[in-house]
Amino acid sequence: MTTERFGTREEVIRWIKEVGIDNKVTVIISRSDTETGKRGRSNKIIFGCDKGGKHKISDSGTQSASKKCGCPFKIRSTPAKDGSGWKIDVKCGLHNHGLPDRLEGHSFIGRLTTDEKQHVADLAKRHVAPRNILLSLQDKFPENVTRITQVYKHKSVIEKEIRGPRSEIQHLFKLIEDAGYVYWSRKKDDSEVVREIFWAHPDSVKLLNIFPIVLVMDSTYKTNKYRQPLFEIVGMTSTELTFAVGFAYMESEQTENFCWVLEKLKELFVKKDMCPQVILTDRDLALMKAIEVVFPNSINLLCRFHINKNVGAKCKQHVVNDLQKTIDTLWMEVVWASDEVEYGQRLHQLEQACVDYSGFINYVKDTWLTPHRHRFVGAWINRVLHLGNTTTNRVESAHWKLKQMLGNSIGDMVKCWEAMNNNLRLQPSQTSKKIKLSKKKIKLSKKQPQFIVQFPNHIRSYIEDVVNVESDGNCGFRVIALLHGYGEDGWSMVRRELGLELIDKDRSTLYDKLFSNRLSAVRESLMIESFGSQPPEKWMSLPDMGYLIANRYNVVLVCLGNPCITFFPMTSSHSPNVSIYCIGFVNQNHWVQVNMKEGFPLPPVTLDWKKFRSHIATTWMLGFAGRMQHWQLLTPVLA
């Protein structure tokens, strides 16, 4: 009760609600009227408890609950006759129910204000989870008693306002069009029901046409509430970065569905005769058949990781524990066989070890080796330009990133598309910069005689140009970065990647033997504390770095200096399209890039390369035998 007078009806409403909240009572406006000059109309507001009134029973017979219990609480407010303002008159100050300890979560009190709604909208636009939106509300508005239900409701209101009268699919198509995507869809017969949708970002189309060599494809699940599989295609740049090519929602995973998607993928290529050289997939027979139909000239490799996983699981079913590790090792030797002769020998050893386990060896041969050995065994796939891709890890990683962005699997297709679009928006910052560096033409300098005269006489006529780099103790790594397409300033990336190469699990044993007690010193030479000038112990030194560079980038590295050396990769087989990086050591303390004429002679390899290289690496010397013999012929005559 109060004798206070209020200037406006808004002041009355504000005061009564504030006093109600202080007393744990939710006061609502039961009725109100405004004077219009007509008979019976006057200014008044009738307040009541939110539990006042009676529950109305629906005619439908549906059972429902209500918090209304006929509470008699009532306050009347009208303007005073003396014109001093609005007065308050408590008609009934009693409640017929208990009062809560607190009002947190109350549907009325917990309503969002205009500022709070805007805050929710801003955070929802950035895909902040509702629980984090609620925490942010409580931090920004300490008096807020909203619960997460109100956050979900307001998010739903926002989405409905954005979508308008459009259906989910119509709104999805609008978003795809507004973002400038290339897309296709097809419907069931003559109906309006959509069967498949395929879309690709315009930047992805450009990347696909620049880097079409290897594509990795796979389906993922639990991305939407309809449980439709999402088919994703990714590629790889020259700097080994993964980029998204396209996505598709399909009605089912049959050959006919995959054929439609791959036909649309084919339309993304600028040149009609262009196609991926290698397509890497799981053993999905429907997809494999579709690839054979749409891309008959592409080579379909199978994921080694999943094959080995399946074989390992089958081994545990059929083979006793003591022999499982031995048979697993023999199986890996079959997979990594470098030629068909070695493959036959390794397979025979595996068959001998599994003589008592016919179920396992029959599974291995009938399911994998007989029909698919040319798709995953080294003896066959090493003849293919797969750029080191022998698993579907790239697309699996893309699946993981998408699901991290999604947060859950109960959203609709619009939410899934928005998550994919956000991932692609982040992709250019990771990829485009590298692409620009890759495509950037190296500006050739004039021949620098002060450098050329420091190289052996018999090789000078093959030198087209010498490119100098900054002398700061990183010059060797700058030259490699320049040759690899990173640009001279990408030297720190080269240091990092060579450090990763040194601890690569597939070659750790090789480096233990190759560097022996110098391993820690080699590792330390790659680690720097700042980006400025580096002391001599951090400079690039050969032959140590030569082995790492050739192995990491799968290139042939030629060093012109004293001595002149060639470094081939030590664990891979010869490739006719391999890049040859030529560097020169000058002034006894500086590295430069040396651009050579096509087919120039190659100096010899080191004794350690011959000693520690794998069996398949001997094919490098066979492939370049003529050019290495040419060097030997020139040396004694012109030395």
pLDDT of residue 159: 82
Confidence of residue 569 (pLDDT cuts 50, 70, 90): very high
Confidence of residue 210 (pLDDT cuts 50, 70, 90): confident
Residue closest to 536 by CA, chosen among 494, 476, 581? 476
Question: Which segments within 34-73 are labelled E, that is strand?
Answer: 44-49
CA 386 to chain centre: 20
DSSP-H helix ranges across 382-456: 393-406, 413-439, 449-452
pLDDT of residue 440: 40
Element (H, E) at 325: helix 321-335
| Residue 435 pLDDT greater than 70, yes or no | no
Q: CA–CA separation, 442 vs 514, rounded Å?
A: 34
Q: What is the pLDDT of residues 251-282, one digit of tens each?
A: 899 999 999 999 999 999 988 778 999 999 99
Residue closest to 585 by CA, chosen among 447, 468, 446, 445? 468
Q: CA–CA separation, 212 vs 195, rounded Å?
A: 28
DSSP-H helix ranges across 25-167: 114-125, 130-140, 148-163
Structure tokens given for 257: 């569905």
Q: Which has the higher per-residue pLDDT, 376 or 21? A: 376
Instruction: Indicate the DSSP class of residue 594.
Output: E
Say if residues 175 and 419 touch (Cβ distance below 8 Å): no
Confidence of residue 60 (pLDDT cuts 50, 70, 90): low
Residue 583: strand pairing partners: 559, 593
The neighbour count for residue 155, using CB atoms within 10 Å, is 16
How wide is the angle at C-alpha 589 spanned by C-alphas 585 and 590, nearest 5°? 55
Pairing of strands 230-236, 299-302: unpaired
Confidence of residue 449 (pLDDT cuts 50, 70, 90): low
Confidence of residue 235 (pLDDT cuts 50, 70, 90): very high
* 10: amino acid identity, one letter: E
Q: Which has the higher per-residue pLDDT, 590 or 114? A: 590
Say if residues 556 and 581 touch (Cβ distance below 8 Å): yes
Q: What is the pLDDT of residues 333-379, one digit of tens each?
A: 999 998 899 999 999 999 999 999 999 999 999 999 999 999 999 99
Q: What is the mean pLDDT of the chain?
A: 87
Q: What is the mean predicted confidence (pLDDT) over 568-595?
A: 92
| Residue 34 pLDDT greater than 80, yes or no | yes
Give pTM, 2 decimals: 0.56
pLDDT of residue 237: 83
The neighbour count for residue 474, using CB atoms within 10 Å, is 26
CA 358 to chain centre: 42
Q: Which has the higher per-residue pLDDT, 217 or 443? A: 217
Q: What is the pLDDT of residues 588-602, one digit of tens each?
A: 899 999 999 999 999
Say if residues 89 and 77 touch (Cβ distance below 8 Å): yes
* All residues at 6 or more sequence positions from 425 whose CB lies less than 8 Å from its CB, including other chains: none
Q: CA–CA separation, 451 vs 558, rounded Å?
A: 16
* All residues at 6 or more sequence positions from 6 whose CB lies less than 8 Å from its CB, including other chains: 12, 15, 77, 85, 86, 88
Q: Which residue has the tokens 């010498």?
A: 466
Confidence of residue 62 (pLDDT cuts 50, 70, 90): low
| Residue 442 pLDDT greater than 50, yes or no | no
Structure tokens given for 603: 């100096």
Residue closest to 236 by CA, chosen among 470, 36, 434, 41? 434
DSSP string, 472-513: SS-HHHHHHHHHHTS-GGGHHHHHHHHHHHHT-TTTHHHHHH
Element (H, E) at 523: helix 519-526
| Residue 70 pLDDT greater than 80, yes or no | yes
Q: Which has the higher per-residue pLDDT, 449 or 402? A: 402
pLDDT of residue 231: 95
pLDDT of residue 430: 42
Residue closest to 395 by CA, chosen among 243, 555, 547? 243
Residue 184: strand pairing partners: 198
